[in-house]
Chains A and B, each alone.
Chain A
Amino acid sequence: MNVSPVNTPRGIDRRRLLQLGGALAATTSLAACSGSGSAGTGGAGDKNKGSLTVWSWQGPATALKALVPEFRRKHPGIEVTVEDIGNPAIWDKITTAMAAGGEGLADVLHIGVDYLPGYTEKFPEGLADLGELGAAKYRGAFAPGLWRTVSPTGSRVNALPWEANSAGFWYRADLFEKAGVDAGALATWDDVVEAGKKIKADTGTRLIGIDKPASQADAANFFQMLLQLQGAFYFNADGDITLDSPEAVRAMKIIKRMNDSGLVSDFSGGWNTMVSSLKKSTVAVQPMPTWFGGVIEREVPQQKGKWRVQLPPAVRPGGSRSATVNSTHLAVAGSSPHQAAAWTFVEYVLTRPASQARIYRDQAIAPALMKAYDDAAFHEPSAYFGGQKRGEVFLKALKAPSPSFTYSSDYARALKVVTDAQTRVLLKGADPAGALHDAADRLGKQTGRKVVR
């Protein structure tokens, strides 16, 4: 809406048409500047020399920054600048830079499992093949299943795993106690709903928070976790759509029951709202993955001793209580002229147990590197969490068999139809089965993928 006026018009003459044309041009060139494809114009360079830029977000970015001085002592020839781009802003920034053929892209990129397949499919040269730089020897070093995520075909290595996040159940022990609820006795999410009603009645606090109008792309995190606990996902291993499976309907029904009972606080606005809610103690449970412990400790130090963590209850009696809900990775840009130096940095951060232990102490980010868990950091009682050994809680989950989930290159689209369906259920009282059925059909039409029922 910023087309500046030039003259007072009198009718359609050539000048007027030109102005109009200019406005049209602005529209069409928005799409065109995206271009397509991407050039892997970079090169390996010297593995001990170069100036690197690293893109990450919030906690992980802070952890990386803290690691840079000791890295520089070992590799004085490599300069490292860590930039905290923010999440979800980082995804758009990577996309546009890759679409521009790597123009303005950092050398090292922190990429989540949700975006990795999309980038590698749309921009085949966007990420450097770490296999060529020496990554193949770490094939067995990471949590089970993660190598398939970074190297789906087994030849090219697109990235190296950093975090392996397991589903968690962070709860306010003080509120649970006040309501007389024993968290350890909660076997299923049905039990949680009943407990939630009691907590609300006795303390006035709601059970959980959900971004009901889906103001952010990750508004369906909780739904997705309930799905993953059942070993199900939006796509099956063949990439077909399964988002209206019985498991999905069951998960959405749990959410609807919570909402209908007034147990769900609205987290619209995303991260900032969630943090405000932490500070104001408006919810009793945060069904968030491993990394969330670091966030609580950092954001609400005054609530020390009030929080505890355990693995989430099962969706069905006797069902699984652990799931690796997501992982993040470090990749090297295909356009980087310092790929070898970037690999030196990635290798230093991700494959040295000492680096990962330090990151864990610093930001409570759980590594995918299994050897790191030998460090005492993962077995110490945490004063903040009332002496709980929370590292061991999640290590148990990480060691349990967890199915691997196919995110596919259409994950962003799937997320959109899922969050829309969830919004309809939460704000308009839609029927979970019907809303998910429509969502699956819509996704099938958009992507050309088969809907399996």
Chain B
Amino acid sequence: MSAVLHKPSTVSEPLAAAGAKRGGPRGRLAPYLFILPALVLFAAFKLYPIGWSFVLSLHKTVGGVDTFVGGENYRRLVDDPLFWTALKNTAVVLAVQVPVMLALATGLAVALNSAILRGRSVFRLGFFLPMVTGLVAYGIMFSVLLHQEYGLVNWFLGLFGSDGIPWLTDPLWAKISIGFVLTWHYTGYNAVILLARLQTVPAELYDAAAVDGAGPWHSFRHVTLPGLRPALLLTTVLSTIGTLQLFDEPYILTGGGPDNATLTIGVYLYQTAFKYFDFGYASAIAYVLAVLIGLLGIVQFRVLGDRS
């Protein structure tokens, strides 16, 4: 940074004069000083841990001593069946839950934007509220609701003669429960983002579509959806990142079980670091996860982004 600050001026005469008018070198220093606090914080709390975790990922701790092992942790990852299980579980959530949730959020945004809906702000608040519920609090709430023998949901189903569903204790149902909980928590949040974008779509476009004879479906398909495109990209990318980092819900509801059916990369990373004290291997998992998120993000920008 100091190299930048003390760089001798090589700009041409008129520009240099303009610079002098703004206060010369001191004027050029000011913006850097303004971003300095943010930069220092970023370096201390983001850059340093990112760098250090990479160093960690190349080490193995044996008997309290860190030894350099190069890429061994990464090689170990390749034939670690639990890592692949975690990746597969995450992919299932990504492929099933995220599209369903975003479709619901889009429908919800359109409904909340509708002029005929009364008490709109109440509904908006209602759907957004799950988002501000503490993760642990709602995790515990759902574990009480979904308990097979003592849960409220199965008690309710019991009124209709059902034997009760093993919500959290059957591998398949546990996956479905996690998906259900995620949807409950994040649909409203995504709907609000989409709604904000929806309100910027000019009404004239709908009028024009109506004049051209488009019904509700066609104006949704050809006006609403293209208008929502940037917000859809944003919510898709955010949901993808969130899903890949999925941790709280499986951690609290199922602990990654039963038999690793809801093990996510986040939960596996946590177990490796804080249950098995294997910080080097956990860092390697974190790096692979980061690269995956980066790659998926780029793909999504390419597919959904503006081509202009």
Whether A24 lies near B254 (C-beta < 8 A) is: no
Q: Would you call B234 and A1 a contact (CB within 8 A)? A: no
Segment 214-230 of B: residues with Cβ below 8 Å from A = 230
Nearest A-chain residue to B66, judged by Cβ: A36
Taking a contact as CB atoms closer than 8 A, the residue among B53, B174, B185 that contacts A32 in the complex is B53
Within B190-234, the residues touching A (CB, 8 Å) are: 193, 197, 230-231, 233-234
> Cβ of A30 < 8 Å from any Cβ of B?
yes
| Distance in angstroms between the alpha carbons of A128 and B248 in the assembled complex | 34
- Chain A interface main SS type: helix
Q: Which A residue sits closest to B248, measured CB to CB?
A: A1
Known: A123-B64, A213-B169, A214-B257. A9 touches B230 (CB 8 A): yes
Mask, B232-262, CB within 8 Å of A = 1, is 0110011101111110100000110111100
A-B contact count, CB below 8 Å? 194
What residues of B have a CB within 8 angstroms of the CB of A30 in the complex? 269, 286
Interface flag for A70 (CB, 8 Å): no
Provide the residues of chain B in CB contact with A92, threshold 8 Å.
274-275
A123: chain B residues within 8 A (beta carbon)? 64
Stretch of A50-58, A354-362, A419-427 contacting B (4+ beta carbons < 8 Å): A419-427
Q: Scan B264-305; emit 1 where CB is below 8 A from any A CB, else 0.
A: 000001010111110110110111011001100110011001
Within 8 Å by CB of B147, from A269, A409, A416, lies: A269
Q: A11-B301, A423-B259 given as contacts; is B289 within 8 A of A215 (CB)?
A: no
Stretch at the interface among A15-23, A160-168, A253-261: A15-23
Given A32-B283, A118-B277, A213-B169, A8 and B64 touching (CB < 8 A)? no
**Interface size in chain B (residues, C-beta < 8 A):** 77
* B143/A269 in contact, CB under 8 A: yes
Contact A27 B293 (CB under 8 A): yes
Among B148, B279, B308, point to the contact of A266 (Cβ < 8 A): B148
Interface residue from A9, A16, A99, A266 paired with B169 (Cβ < 8 Å)? A266
Question: Which B residues touch A8, using CB under 8 A?
Answer: 197, 230-231, 234
Q: Is B46 an interface residue (CB 8 A)?
A: yes
Chain B residues, Cβ within 8 Å of A33:
49
Report which residue of B47, B258, B273, B294 has the largest number of chain A beta carbons within 10 angstroms of its beta carbon. Answer: B258
A81 near B: Cβ within 8 Å? no
Q: Is B275 a contact partner of A215 (Cβ separation < 8 A)?
A: no
A3, A5, A212 — most chain B CB neighbours (10 Å)? A5
B127 part of interface (Cβ distance < 8 Å): no
Residue of A nearest to B274 (CB): A95
Q: Judge if B13 is at the interface, Cβ distance under 8 Å.
A: no
Q: How far is the CA of A27 from the CA of B269 in the complex (A)?
A: 10
B170 within 8 A of A: yes
C-alpha spacing A95/B282, complex, angstroms: 14
Shortest CB-to-CB span from A267 to chain B, Å, is 9
In this complex, what residue of B is CB-closest to A26?
A: B245
Given the interface pairs A33-B49, A266-B149, the reply to whether A27 lies near B289 with Cβ below 8 Å is: yes
* A23 with B56, Cβ < 8 A, contacts A11-B301, A12-B301, A423-B257 known: no
Bound Cα distance from A124 to B305, whole angstroms: 52
> For the complex, what is the distance from the CA of A27 to the CA of B81, rounded to whole Å?
22
Q: Is A268 an interface residue (CB 8 A)?
A: yes
How far apart are the CA atoms of A355 and B280 in the complex, in Å? 43
Cβ-defined contact, A5 with B193, below 8 A: yes
A412 and B275 contact, CB distance less than 8 A: yes
Chain A residues in 8 Å Cβ range of B302: 12
B170 touches A122 (CB 8 A): no
Chain B residues, Cβ within 8 Å of A22: 46
CB-CB under 8 A from B286, the residues of chain A are: 27-28, 30-32
Q: Which of A28, A35, A214 contacts B255 (CB 8 A)?
A: A214
**Nearest A-chain residue to B241, judged by Cβ:** A23
- A276 to B, closest residue via Cβ: B150
Nearest to B298 among chain A residues (CB) is A12
Given contacts A9-B233, A215-B168, A273-B150, whether A1 and B245 have CB atoms under 8 Å apart is yes
From B275, B280, B294, B305, give the contact of A20 (CB < 8 A): B294
Which of chain B's residues has its CB closest to A216's CB?
B255
Partner of B46, one of A16, A25, A268: A25
CA distance A24 to B147 in the complex (A): 35
Q: Taking the complex as formed, is A236 at the interface, i.e. its CB lies under 8 A from any CB of chain B?
A: no
CA A33 to CA B44, docked complex, whole Å: 11
A129 at the B interface (CB under 8 A): no
B176 at the interface (CB under 8 A from A): no
CB distance from A344 to the nearest CB of B (A): 28
- Residues from chain A with a CB closer than 8 A to the CB of B237 are 9, 20
The 8 Å CB contact of A95, one of B64, B255, B277, is B277
Measured between beta carbons, the chain B residues less than 8 angstroms from A134 are: none
**B residues near A269, Cβ cutoff 8 Å:** 143, 147, 150
Partner among B64, B143, B238, B294 whose Cβ is within 8 Å of the Cβ of A37: B64
In the complex, which residues 110-155 of chain B have their Cβ closer than 8 Å to any Cβ of chain A?
143, 147-150
Would you give 15 A-B contacts (Cβ < 8 Å), ordered by A?
A1-B182, A9-B237, A10-B306, A26-B245, A27-B293, A31-B282, A32-B283, A34-B279, A122-B61, A268-B169, A269-B150, A409-B277, A419-B257, A423-B257, A427-B170
Pairs A-B, 4 closest by C-beta atoms: A1-B242, A32-B53, A213-B258, A32-B49
Besides A25-B47, A269-B147, 14 new A-B residue pairs in contact (Cβ under 8 A), listed by A number:
A1-B238, A2-B242, A8-B231, A10-B306, A12-B301, A22-B46, A28-B49, A28-B287, A34-B282, A92-B274, A95-B277, A213-B259, A215-B255, A412-B276
* Interface set of A (CB-CB < 8 Å, partner B): 1-3, 5, 8-12, 16, 20, 22-37, 91-92, 95-96, 99, 118, 121-124, 212-217, 265-266, 268-269, 273, 276, 409-410, 412-413, 416, 419-420, 423-424, 427-428, 442, 445-446
